[in-house]
Structure 1
Amino acid sequence: MLSVLRSSWPLLLGVMLLMVGNGMQGTLLGIRGEIEGIGTYEMSVVMSAYFMGFLFGSRMTPEMIRRVGHVRVFAALGSLISAVLVLYATAPNWVAWTAMRVLIGFSFSGVYIVAESWLNAQSTNENRGQALSVYMIMQMLGVITAQILLNTGDPSGYFLFVIPSVLVSLAFTPILLSVAPAPPFATTKRMSFARLFAASPLGCVGIFLLGGVFSALFGMSSVWGTHAGLSVREISIFVAAIYVGGLLFQYPIGWASDRMDRRVLILALAIMGAVSMGLVFIMAPGFGVLLFMAALIGGIANPLYSLMVAYTNDYLDNSDMAAASAGLLFINGLGAITGPLATGWLMEAVGDNGFFLYIALLMALVAAYAGWRMTRRPSIPADQTGAFAVLSPAATTLAVEAALEAAQDTSQSDTDDTPSVGH
């Protein structure tokens, strides 16, 4: 891991600063929306717009890179992000914010694609898995740091919008001044959704539903917090707890997924998520319990995403995994667009805790569908499945492909090192 940090620290530092900026703007808008008197459903539209832009960016950025190159795309999109972060405070109404969120989602998607392609090019077959793990950790640390910085100013002013703008601008300095050349860029072949669904119905349905969970958690948490009467400090701690849980639970769940029936693990995690969020909805517990539940649902939802990708790949040839990952990310993006909209509607229909009810319902649907699919075909033995790869829902196709490739290489290496047993 130290060798990865030595060779890729400019890129990793830049990614962390980018995530600080992204994490701040998501939470800050939810708080500022309440101050400006913007309604719950209008804020859900604002939050949904980011995921719409992110989805467009994932489809359009490869063509932009082929036309003008990595560096120009990186610099242009970075400048756009920095500008939008400042403009939020100058036009505090939901229509303007919706347009800005589309732009910033589009730009962050493109920036991640460029950064991940650089990281992949700098890594070797021996350290690619470690590099991607460090990359995911830096993303999480960036968002957690963002929640700390939210407590340094008044959300009704300009200062908290200036901080992420400056940090995003600074993020490009170590990356663009590093000596690493721009990597080659190849387009992933496409797989039809019909073929992907035929290979893994649970993977497709589960990824779509989890898209709604992620966008609710990471887009509407601060909106819920302001309506629930939490202070800025409490909201920032609540959001940070979600990411801390996601950081801590990935590896133990990944370890378990390589040693047992993945559908059983998916079912168990989904039931746990549904029950925990259902209890919060019914009981409306105190802040301490809320933090525990936030860490729990973050620790369930993040690994569950990686688990769905790994499960889907169990039914695919290695040559199809890259195309499948692109299709799964698109399905996840469609689910993410609907998440804040449905959450906002439920919050208006049943009250603020409709936020938790929505997540509970989606987790229950994942559990129900996983249980039903277990009756439709036999499971693959654990020793015949592919390796689990730690993934982030914010990762682009490039990172997912590289993570899966590294996981497969590790799994193959472990198999080759295992002595055979004669009878």
Structure 2
Amino acid sequence: MFKVLASAWALFLGMLLLMIGNGMQGTLLGIRGEIEAFSTVEMSIVMSAYFVGFLGGSRLAPEMIRRVGHVRVFAALGSLISAVLILFPSVTEPWAWIALRVIIGFGFAGVYVTAESWLNNATTTENRGQALSLYMIVQTGGMVAAQGFLSLGDPAGFILFIVPSVLVSISFAPILLSIAPTPPFDTTKPMNLVELYRSSPTGCVGMFLSGGMMAAQFGMSAVYAAQAGLSVAEVGSFVGAIFLGGLILQYPVGWISDRMDRRVLILGCSVIGALACTAGVLLSPTVPVVLTIGFIMGGMINPLYSLLIAYTADYLDYSDMAAASGGLIFINGLGAIAGPLAIGALMTAIGPQGYWLFVAFLMVALAGYSAYRMTRRAAPSADETGAYVPFSPNLSSVGVAAGQEWSEAQSDDAEDAGDNGWDEGEDEPDILPTSGSA
């Protein structure tokens, strides 16, 4: 781990600052929208707009990089993000915020694609798994740390919008000045969505539902907390608890998933999350209650994202996974766009509790569909499944493909060694080969 950090410290430092800026603006807009008396529906559209831009950026950024190179795309999108962050308090109109959020989402998607291709090039097959884990920790840690910066100023003023703009501007300095030579970049044709669905219906349906859950925790959590009457510091603590839960519980869930039918674990995580969110509907939104439920919700939602990718990979040849990752992220993005709109409608109809009700509904739907699919197809045996790789929802298709490449390489090493699991005294498990058949 220290070797990886030493070789790519500039990238990790830059991404940490970038994620602090991104985390601040996401929470800050939910609070400022309440101050500006934006309606819940207006704020839901504002939050949904980020995912519209993110989805577009995920599709277009690879072609932009192929045409003009990593450095130009990275610098251009970084400057655009920094400028847009300053504009939010200058034009406090819903239509303007919607347009700005589309631009922000597009910019961050392009930055992630660029950074992850650099990271992929700066690491080897042997340490890529560690690098991706560290990258995910940096991303999530930045989102959590961002919530502490909300106490630096008044959300009704300008200073809290200037801080993330400065952080984003600074974040590119260590990356652009210290990063290794830019790697070659090849675009991958996405897999046909019909073909992807036929390979793994649970993966596709689950990724769509997961997108709605991700939008709830990343886009609408601050809107809910502000409407529930929490203070600025308490809103930040709530959002931080969600991401902290995802960070802490990701690895235990992953360890379990490599030893059982992933659909059973998907069902279990969904049920636990649904019960927690149901408690949010029934209980008063006191600070201890919302922090506890937020931690559990985040701890279930984030692993579900990685579980669904791992489960889909179990039914694909490795050569197809790079293309499939783009399709899965596209499906997830569609769910993320629809999520805030549905939450906004529910919160308008029944109040802040609509936030918890929507997430609970999605988790019940995922649990039910997973149970149904268990009756339609048997699970692959333990020696036919690949390894669980922890993925951040902010990861682009480049990062997902790199993670699957590492998993496959580990599988080949284990197969060559004739192993079937852990060897006593090893630091990491031998990963078993992935089957390409259903």
Regarding TM over 0.5, the answer is yes
Paired position in structure 2 for 1:163: 163
* Aligned sequence identity (%): 59
Change in Cα spacing, 1:381 to 1:100, as seen in structure 2 (3 Å) is same
Q: 1:89 is paired with a residue of what secondary structure?
A: coil
Following superposition, the deviation at residue 22 of structure 1 comes to 0.5
1:224-250 CA distance string (max 9 Å, x none): 111111000000000000010000011
Paired position in structure 2 for 1:386: 386
1:91-114 CA distance string (max 9 Å, x none): 011110000000010000001111
Paired position in structure 1 for 2:226: 226
Paired position in structure 2 for 1:208: 208
Is the contact between residue 57 and residue 107 of structure 1 (CA under 8 Å) also seen in structure 2? yes
Paired position in structure 2 for 1:344: 344
Question: Residues 17-416 of structure 1 correspond to what in structure 2 (within 5 A)?
Answer: 17-416=17-416
Is the contact between residue 278 and residue 357 of structure 1 (CA under 8 Å) also seen in structure 2? yes
Structure 2 Cα separation of the partners of residues 417 and 273 of structure 1:
39
Structure 1 Cα separation of the partners of residues 268 and 382 of structure 2:
17
Change in Cα spacing, 1:259 to 1:84, as seen in structure 2 (3 Å) is same
Following superposition, the deviation at residue 190 of structure 1 comes to 2.0
Q: 1:90 is paired with a residue of what secondary structure?
A: coil
1:39-59 CA distance string (max 9 Å, x none): 111000000000000000011
How many residues were matched structurally?
A: 421
Q: 1:277 is paired with a residue of what secondary structure?
A: helix
Structure 1 Cα separation of the partners of residues 214 and 354 of structure 2:
15
Structure 2 Cα separation of the partners of residues 262 and 233 of structure 1:
38
Following superposition, the deviation at residue 405 of structure 1 comes to 1.2
Structure 2 Cα separation of the partners of residues 257 and 341 of structure 1:
32
Point out where structure 1 has 5 or more consecutive residues left out of the alignment.
Answer: none
Following superposition, the deviation at residue 202 of structure 1 comes to 0.5
Which amino acid counterpart does residue 293 of structure 2 have in structure 1? M
Is the contact between residue 228 and residue 285 of structure 2 (CA under 8 Å) also seen in structure 1? no
Q: 2:89 is paired with a residue of what secondary structure?
A: helix
1:327-367 CA distance string (max 9 Å, x none): 00000000000011000000001111100000000000000
Is the contact between residue 8 and residue 179 of structure 2 (CA under 8 Å) also seen in structure 1? no
Structure 2 Cα separation of the partners of residues 156 and 375 of structure 1:
54
Is the contact between residue 214 and residue 301 of structure 2 (CA under 8 Å) also seen in structure 1? yes
Structure 1 Cα separation of the partners of residues 347 and 201 of structure 2:
30
1:258-294 CA distance string (max 9 Å, x none): 0001111111111111111012102235321221111
Following superposition, the deviation at residue 401 of structure 1 comes to 0.4
Which amino acid counterpart does residue 72 of structure 2 have in structure 1? R
Change in Cα spacing, 1:7 to 1:42, as seen in structure 2 (3 Å) is same
Structure 2 Cα separation of the partners of residues 92 and 329 of structure 1:
31
Q: Which structure 1 residue ranges, 4+ long, deviate > 6 Å from structure 2?
A: none
Structure 2 Cα separation of the partners of residues 164 and 415 of structure 1:
47
Following superposition, the deviation at residue 304 of structure 1 comes to 0.6
Point out where structure 2 has 5 or more consecutive residues left out of the alignment.
Answer: 421-438
Following superposition, the deviation at residue 415 of structure 1 comes to 4.2
Change in Cα spacing, 1:419 to 1:46, as seen in structure 2 (3 Å) is closer
Following superposition, the deviation at residue 412 of structure 1 comes to 3.3
Structure 2 Cα separation of the partners of residues 279 and 336 of structure 1:
23
Structure 2 Cα separation of the partners of residues 190 and 89 of structure 1:
38
Given the two structures, how large is their TM-score scaled by the length of structure 1? 0.98
Is the contact between residue 259 and residue 383 of structure 1 (CA under 8 Å) also seen in structure 2? no
Structure 1 Cα separation of the partners of residues 179 and 419 of structure 2:
43
Following superposition, the deviation at residue 418 of structure 1 comes to 4.8
Change in Cα spacing, 1:400 to 1:36, as seen in structure 2 (3 Å) is same
Following superposition, the deviation at residue 404 of structure 1 comes to 1.1
Which amino acid counterpart does residue 64 of structure 1 have in structure 2? M
Which amino acid counterpart does residue 395 of structure 1 have in structure 2? L
Structure 2 Cα separation of the partners of residues 244 and 228 of structure 1:
21
Structure 1 Cα separation of the partners of residues 68 and 276 of structure 2:
48
Following superposition, the deviation at residue 296 of structure 1 comes to 0.7
